[in-house]
Amino acid sequence: MNCADRLVVLFGSQAEVARQFRLDRAVVNNWVKSGYVPARWAMEVEHASNGQITAAEVLNEATARKPLRMKSRPDGESLFGSPLTGNDTMNDFAPAKRINSFHPPQRTLMGPGPTEIHPRVLTTMSQPAIGYLDPVFVEMMEELKTLLRYAYQTKNPLTFPISGPGSVGMEFCFVNLVRPGDKVIVCRNGVFGGRMIENVERCGGTAIVVEDEWGSPIDPQKVEDAFKKNPGVRILAFVHAETSTGCQSDAKTLVDIAHKHNALTIVDAVTSLGGTPVLVDEWGIDAVYSASQKCLSCTPGLSPVSFSERIVADVKSRKDKIHSWFMDMNLLLGYWGASTRTYHHTAPTNSLFALHEALLLIREEGVENCWARHHRHHLALKAGLEAMGLKFLVKEQYQIPQMNAVRCPEGVDEAAVRKTLLNEFGIEIGAGLGPLAGKIWRFGLMGYSCRPDNVMLCLSALGSVLSDMGLPVHVGDAESAAHGAYAAMHTKAAQVKKKNIAKAA
């Protein structure tokens, strides 16, 4: 009896075989008619039959019935050489389920990151791999550092991407700067300030926490008071743009306060870099980190960092051993420094090509234009969301364009709205975190995702979902408000242009 017939006997019917293999019955019928099971099902047959029909039997039978013809193989020789015996090509770890290549669906990414990636960046990323010490790659690394300095608006020589997500950039700053026993003021007004506290404690420091409400900016007066109350604080750490709430704090004022008290600063610019100004040199930031998957619109997994020369000297003067080998600045500089290129770890080369291209796009657009674009589309999205009656979590003057957090209306199933947007419209938006879970939606407008087509699609989809759920939302009002906002911006820009021409004449 051939393997196809044996399967039918084993499972009782062709229909049952089809069910086992999640196939159409016609396919199984074809196996029976042709008298063999195609070779690609060998592994599944062995699993499904609990080894009663071995993969080798299926392969041998299929090869005999339908020999594979390959030009590189002499005629008559089977693909698998001499007939296989037993099941020595299989092992217990082989997946029972048939696994195909992964093809992600097309999504409109309007959450807190990752964002959509520009086609130019995707193309660059799929170029052939080269070695991380290849002279061509090394040249690209130097350009990458220059482009990053532009994005950060700094001349800091130590400006480079750490291999790892934003959390790794955060740890890089803390492990290098915080010594055991150090007092560090950490501001917490959302999720990520909390992570900074963890980092201080794990480095053996003492965290002095300045709390502000989630959705409010860091209060500079509270920071000033904390410095006065705690002499000897060495570092102030804060998040510039809190992704969990969409609120931005006044980085310049906070850095000034720290410097007045002779303290250093660690600034989280994960969500701000590329979306709103991060002026490292002008504001005097000492250590800053970001992430590749937010307004830089690159693949996740890289964390651009920048240290002032004062910090570099400070870290170099440490007598104690930095307790992370991977993130020890002195060792990493052996690879990323200007003069040396020695192996530290295998750099994620293709991701770095991608970051180079993503930063080049910002350079081509102009970083000021990039900030302006984020602001423009935020105004249109905001007009639309407010036209639907939705209220922003954060007061207007502290809102960041790239992360728009709005309160979910009373009685609306917050998660169901997100689910419908994803399943029916392919749009991903963010949920609330921590105390805001179930209470807000977060609409990201970051990097390449920050486009008018995304704004309009999102408003239209949300209006339709909310209206279907019985909310008194008039479909079309949001789009019309967004159009109105764009029109007002165009008129204003035209007037400014006219004035400038008149002035120049």
Give how far Cα 199 sits from Cα of 186, 192, 239, 327, Å. Answer: 10, 11, 13, 13
Residues 343-402 that bind ligand PLP (CB under 6 A): none
Part in contact with ligand PLP (CB under 6 A); list of ranges 220-228, 265-273, 339-347, 355-363: 265-273
Q: Is 270 in the site for ligand PLP (CB under 6 A)?
A: yes
Please report how close the Cβ of residue 199 comes to ligand PLP at its closest, in angstroms: 11
Distance CA 356, CA 160 (A): 11
Please report how close the Cβ of residue 57 comes to ligand PLP at its closest, in angstroms: 49
3-state secondary structure of 397: helix
**Contact of 266 with 286, CB cutoff 8 Å:** yes
Q: Return the structure tokens found at 347.
A: 């750099």
Q: Residue 13: which residues within 8 A CB-CB, separation 6 or more? A: none
Taking CB atoms within 8 Å and a gap of at least 24, the contacts of 12-17 are none
Closer Cβ to ligand PLP, 203 or 473, answer by number: 203
Closer Cβ to ligand PLP, 182 or 268, answer by number: 268
Please report how close the Cβ of residue 268 comes to ligand PLP at its closest, in angstroms: 5
Closer Cβ to ligand PLP, 49 or 248, answer by number: 248
Q: Residue 305: which residues within 8 A CB-CB, separation 6 or more? A: 158, 159, 160, 161, 162, 169, 172, 173, 287, 288, 289, 290
Q: Is 167 in the site for ligand PLP (CB under 6 A)?
A: yes
Task: Select from 139, 137, 151, 142 the least CA-distant residue to 304.
Answer: 151
* 287-289/302-307 β-pairing: antiparallel
Q: Is 174 in the site for ligand PLP (CB under 6 A)?
A: no
Q: Which of 165, 284, 409, 426 binds ligand PLP (CB under 6 A)?
A: 165
Distance CA 326, CA 307 (A): 17
**Contact of 41 with 21, CB cutoff 8 Å:** yes
Q: Which of 156, 189, 199, 243 binds ligand PLP (CB under 6 A)?
A: 243
Q: Is 218 in the site for ligand PLP (CB under 6 A)?
A: no
Part in contact with ligand PLP (CB under 6 A); list of ranges 60-68, 165-173, 420-428, 438-446: 165-173
Closer Cβ to ligand PLP, 428 or 479, answer by number: 428
Q: Which of 239, 315, 362, 455 binds ligand PLP (CB under 6 A)?
A: 239
Q: Is 268 in the site for ligand PLP (CB under 6 A)?
A: yes
Closer Cβ to ligand PLP, 170 or 458, answer by number: 170
Closer Cβ to ligand PLP, 159 or 189, answer by number: 189
Distance CA 364, CA 362 (A): 5
Closer Cβ to ligand PLP, 189 or 464, answer by number: 189
Q: Is 298 in the site for ligand PLP (CB under 6 A)?
A: no
Buried b (16+ CB within 10 A) or exposed e, 53-68: bbbbbbbbbbbeeeee
Closer Cβ to ligand PLP, 268 or 357, answer by number: 268
Residue with tokens 């949001």: 478
Please report how close the Cβ of residue 71 comes to ligand PLP at its closest, in angstroms: 47
Closer Cβ to ligand PLP, 242 or 286, answer by number: 242
Q: Is 274 in the site for ligand PLP (CB under 6 A)?
A: no
3-state SS of the chain: helix, strand, coil percent to 5?
Answer: 50, 15, 40
Q: Which of 159, 189, 248, 271 binds ligand PLP (CB under 6 A)?
A: 271
Query: What DSSP line would sit under 79-141, residue for residue?
Result: TTSSPP-TTTT--TTS-SS--PPP-PPP-EEESSS-----HHHHHHHTSPP--TT-HHHHHHH
**Contact of 240 with 287, CB cutoff 8 Å:** no
**Contact of 140 with 285, CB cutoff 8 Å:** no
Query: What DSSP line would sit under 199-232, residue for residue?
Result: HHHHTT-EEEEEE--BTB---HHHHHHHHHHSTT
The residue number with the shortest CB distance to ligand PLP is 166
Closer Cβ to ligand PLP, 166 or 275, answer by number: 166
Q: Is 192 in the site for ligand PLP (CB under 6 A)?
A: yes
What is the pattern of x (binds ligand PLP, CB under 6 A) and - over residues 94-113? Answer: ------------------xx
The amino acid present at 247, given as its one-letter code, is C
Q: Is 291 in the site for ligand PLP (CB under 6 A)?
A: yes
Part in contact with ligand PLP (CB under 6 A); list of ranges 21-29, 227-235, 264-272, 458-466: 264-272
Strands of 206-211's sheet in order across: 158-163, 302-307, 287-289, 264-268, 235-239, 183-188, 206-211
Q: Is 114 in the site for ligand PLP (CB under 6 A)?
A: no
Q: Binding residues for ligand PLP, how many (CB under 6 A)?
A: 13
Residues 16-75 that bind ligand PLP (CB under 6 A): none
Closer Cβ to ligand PLP, 44 or 268, answer by number: 268
Q: Which residues of this chain interact with ligand PLP, rule CB under 6 A?
A: 112-113, 165-167, 170, 192, 239, 243, 268, 270-271, 291
